[in-house]
Structure 1
Amino acid sequence: MIIDCAYYRDGLRQHVEAMSVEDAATHCKTGGFVWLGMFEPTADELKQVRDSFGLHELAVEDAQTFHLRPKVEPYEGDVELVILRTARYDDEREEVDFGEVSVFVGPAFVITVRQGVASDLHGARIRLEQRPELLETGTSSVLWAILDQVVDGYGPVVAELERDIEQVEQTVFAGAVAPTEQIYSLRREVTDFYRAVHPLLAVLATVERGARETKLLPYFRDVHDHLVLVNEEVAAQRDLLTTVLEANMAVIGVEQTKVSVRQNATIEQLTILATVFLPLTFVTGFFGQNFGWLVDHIGAEWDFVVLGIGGLLLPCVALFLWFRRQRAVRRQAT
């Protein structure tokens, strides 16, 4: 879909309404330049633009593919294809949305192909149209405006990611266990963001070297400075999330150790209880048998006290002394 198509000359837009692709291609031959903006165009629309402006088929094919990293590719006819990754933080889902902008830059035209919801360039066009002294420099000014818009859009994303990281960090270092899946998801977002930011440094350096107007060099350097700052912050966030993940795993290990200690204590108590009842069960079971000797020789009360009650007390005393000795041995070992 064609969003806007305008012809610029002498630093001014020459008409209000958007022109057709054919008219734009004709104006390219009369001085000035054309800026054609497209959003998720169809194959037929891209073919029309390719035929009208003489774009290389590989460049057009490249603009239809979603890339993981920014890049710049030169083509015949002094045309460059600059691919940028855009980013926007969604407050409702608390996730980062990524988009892409493919920019065809020639001496007399700029064609932008946007993919994804995070790739709006309307603000860049409006701001550049308010700077006629920059528009007079030609198509390089459009590329600067787009780069400036994209890099400025990284700032809010960095701030929101920093807020999410601080929340997870506070949870982990407070001794509580943060959801590991949440940390992994956040680290994946930061890694994807780093892939969008870091390669753009090389792209921007290439664009600076090939800038057609020296008047724009300070503006490109300003974008470069902002990009370096964003790159350092994103790299620091990625390293911090690695530390948070390791700390979270340590907290999980401590919690599992506590559970194991409690389970061991319970098992030890049950073992002691079973050990106590084992000889008692044996004694009561033995004297509960109807052997003739037991029936004939145990008839008095003292026989019952000595053999019955004493038979129960004796193993209890023996077990008490044995447990006491084992506890003293453990204390000496520690």
Structure 2
Amino acid sequence: MPSIPSLSALRRGSRSTGELAPVPSPANNSVIVDCATYFDGVRQSSCERPDDAIARVRAHGSGFVWIGLKEPEMADMAEVATSFGLHELAVEDAINAYQRAKIEQYSSSLFVVIKTVKYVEHESALKAVEIVNSGEIMMFLGADFIVTVRHGDHSGLAGLRQDLERDPARLALGPAAVMHAIADRIVDQYLAVVESVEDDIDEMESLVFDPTAILRTEQIYLLKREVLELRRAIAPLSAPMRRLAEMPNVFVPPEIRTYMRDVEDHLQQVSERVMAFDEILTTLVNAVLAQVATRQNEDMRKISAWAAIALVPTAVAGIYGMNFDFMPELHWTFGYPLALVLIAGICVLLYRTLRKRGWL
């Protein structure tokens, strides 16, 4: 993977002019999904430049700026990082997707990474190729700003922003209220995905114990792999959410920490359900393998039983096929019919005995 230049490298590249390397104007940059300032929880005019927006807020002495970005490149983040004093290591993490859920605190901001998940609709768990799709939302939380960076098409925040703007009292609590609303919305999405995956597991469980169904272990392993992806998105988030809920933080007011406890509790419930899914699927795999072994044993018993029956005529025919003159009943008129009756009688007796014992 090619290395991505750090923010300091971009600064060094334009040291002669004393300015950052040229970046696209946020007003014309589709990477910036939305940008607005909020005073007393009420949205003001949209900001055209991040530095002007934060300067307006700090001159006013209250309020905050909320900027939403989608899959930015380093050049897109340069001006935002400079305006809000974001740490360059966190900026590089925000540009690179597939980060682990975490919280990192720097002097001027709190960096939060939360994985998002989406349930992929399908006709049946047996025909599904993908069940869970994941993305990321990253947040830079400061005293007077919040910058959200999302990766993935299903992690949009437009609806959430509109809901918050209809509740100025909640937005008046500051950027931490936005961070809580985002975390709460994502955990609610976890719950919806978990319930849908649970339906798939129930369907798979019914098929495993249906004697008329044909089920391969590959189909269960696919579902197990998707549950593992869901677990990787959810499980690492427990520790960061507990940290936000229990430990004092300069960027998270005490009243917001109270609400974060509720988010952490819901996340714990979802995590426990996902752990149970993994155990259930492991049990189903073992059940399918046991059924396969049982069917193989039954097949071998049937083959052995028919081989034992076939051995009788083979042995008698082999003995009388040696063409000796002096053999019992060789020249008797009824010798041949008697041999056939004897063979048939022994075969019928073996068949009834083996069937009575369940081999046939």
Query: Which band: TM-score by shorter chain?
Result: 0.7 to 0.9
**CA distances 1:233-253 after superposition (whole Å, capped 9, x unpaired):** 112212111111111211121
Equivalent of 2:202 in 130, 150, 166: 166
Find out whether 1:192 has 2:221 as its counterpart: no
2:252 equivalent in structure 1: 212
1:306, CA displacement in angstroms?
5.3
Q: Partners of 2:340 and 2:209 in 1: how far apart?
A: 49
Alignment of 1:285-304 (within 5 A): none
5+ residue gaps, structure 2, are: 1-30, 123-127
* Aligned residues of 1:12 and 1:135 also touching (Cα < 8 A): yes
CA distance in 2 between counterparts of 1:40 and 1:146 reads: 17
Q: TM-score, normalised by structure 1?
A: 0.82
Residue of structure 2 aligned with 1:256, choices 274, 296, 301: 296
Give the CA deviation at 1:316. Answer: 6.4
1:146 and 2:146 equivalent?
no
Letter in 1 for 2:305: A
CA distance in structure 1 between the partners assigned to 2:349 and 2:269 by the alignment: 67
Q: 1:76 aligns with which of 90, 107, 132?
A: 107
Q: Tell me which residue corresponds to 1:101.
A: 137
Structure 1 distance, partners of 2:308, 2:286, is 33
- Name the CA distance, whole Å, in 2 between partners of 1:259 and 1:19: 75
Whole-Å Cα distance in 1 between the matches of residues 350 and 282 of structure 2?
A: 45
Go from structure 1 to structure 2 and tell me whether the alpha carbon gap of 1:184 and 1:324 turns closer, same or farther (over 3 Å shift): closer
Alpha carbons 1:68, 1:196 under 8 Å: kept: no
How many residue pairs get aligned? The number is 310
Query: 2: distance between equivalents of 1:68 and 1:244?
Result: 32
Any idea what the Cα deviations from partners look like across 1:57-86, whole Å, max 9, x if unmatched? Answer: 111111123336311011232x11100011
- 1:319 Cα deviation after fit: 7.1
Q: Judging changes above 3 Å, is the alpha-carbon distance between structure 1 residues 37 and 324 closer, same or farther for their aligned structure 2 residues? A: closer
- Give the Å deviation of 1:18: 5.3
Paired position in structure 1 for 2:36: 6
Which is richer in helix?
1
Map Cα deviations across residues 278-306 of structure 1 (whole Å, 9 max, x no partner): 234333xx67xxxxxxxxxxxxxxxxx95
Q: For structure 1, which runs of at least 5 residues remain unmatched after alignment?
A: 288-304
Distance change (3 Å), C-alpha of 1:189 and 1:121? same
Change (3 A) 1:270 1:134: same
CA pair 252-323 structure 1, distance change in 2 beyond 3 A = closer
Q: Kindly indicate whether the alpha-carbon contact (under 8 Å) linking 2:74 and 2:92 is maintained by their aligned counterparts in 1.
A: no
Q: Deviations over 1:258-290 (max 9, x none)?
A: 22222223333333343233234333xx67xxx
Shift of 1:130: 1.7
1:238 and 2:262 aligned: no
Q: How far apart in 2 are the matches of 1:119 and 1:101?
A: 7
Which amino acid counterpart does residue 237 of structure 1 have in structure 2?
F
Give deviations 1:6-31, integer Å, cap 9, x for gaps. 1111111112x453334334334333
Residue 171 of structure 1 and its aligned partner are, at CA, apart by: 1.1
Contact 1:85–1:99, Cα closer than 8 Å, also in 2: yes
Further displaced range: 270-279 or 54-63: 270-279
The equivalent of 1:46 in structure 2 is 77
Per-residue deviation, residues 76-134 of structure 1 (Å, max 9, x unmatched)? 32x11100011110113561110111111111211111111231222221222122112
Q: For 2:168 and 2:185, how far apart are their aligned partners in 1?
A: 18
Q: Is the deviation greater in 25-34 or in 147-156?
A: 25-34
Once the two structures are TM-superposed, the CA of residue 317 in structure 1 deviates from its matched residue by: 8.4
Verify the 8 A CA contact 2:312 2:346 in the aligned structure 1. no
Matched with 2:50 is: 21
What is the match of residue 123 of structure 1?
A: 159
The secondary structure found in structure 1 opposite 2:331 is: helix
Alignment match, 1:299: none
Cα drift, residue 311 of structure 1: 6.9
CA 1:277–1:65 in structure 2 vs 1: closer, same or farther (change >3 Å)?
A: farther
Structure 2 residue aligned with 1:89: 119
Quote how far apart the aligned CAs of 1:44 are: 1.5
Q: 2-side partners of 1:185 and 1:25: how far apart?
A: 48
Corresponding position of 1:291: none
Asked whether 1:67 is paired with 2:98, we answer yes
Please name the residue that 2:269 is paired with.
229
The offset of 1:33, in angstroms, is: 1.1
Cα distance 1:27–1:182, how it changes in 2: closer, same or farther (>3 A)?
A: farther
- The alpha-carbon deviation at position 5 of structure 1 amounts to 0.8
Q: Cα deviations across residues 195-231 of structure 1 (Å, max 9, x unaligned)?
A: 2222212111222222632222332222122212212
Q: Which moved more, 1:42-51 or 1:161-170?
A: 42-51
